Amino acid sequence: MADLTDNGQMLSAEDVERLHRNADTDTRKEALHHSLGPSSTQASPGDHDHKGGNSRLLFEGLTISGDRSDGTALLSIIQLLVSFGATDSTTA
């Protein structure tokens, strides 16, 4: 672990600011520093809603297919929900 003291003295706010100027913020998922936002290298804020503004859309990149009239679209929705952890207890 890094020594955050200077000869036994706590670093000043200015020293801490200087050390963080070249921080690895949002450079990769494994970075030590993250800002809040929707990017894959950012942390989600506590009030994120998966509507695309402050986080990624919940089903971004997924497609619902099938025909509404014969129920195949419903099967597609069920499969999508199962991929997110839902349990399919429906019957034919």
Give dist(CA 6, CA 22) in Å, integer: 19
**Residues 42, 25: contact at Cβ < 8 Å?**
no
Per-residue pLDDT of the chain (92 residues; tens, 9 = 90+): 456 665 777 888 888 888 888 888 889 888 888 888 888 888 888 888 888 777 778 888 899 999 999 999 999 999 999 998 999 999 87
Q: How far is the CA of 80 from the CAs of 50, 51, 62, 64, in angstroms?
A: 16, 17, 8, 8
| pTM confidence score | 0.51
DSSP string, 71-87: THHHHHHHHHHHHTT--
Write the pLDDT tens digit of every residue in 44-55. Answer: 888 888 887 777
Give dist(CA 73, CA 81) in Å, integer: 13
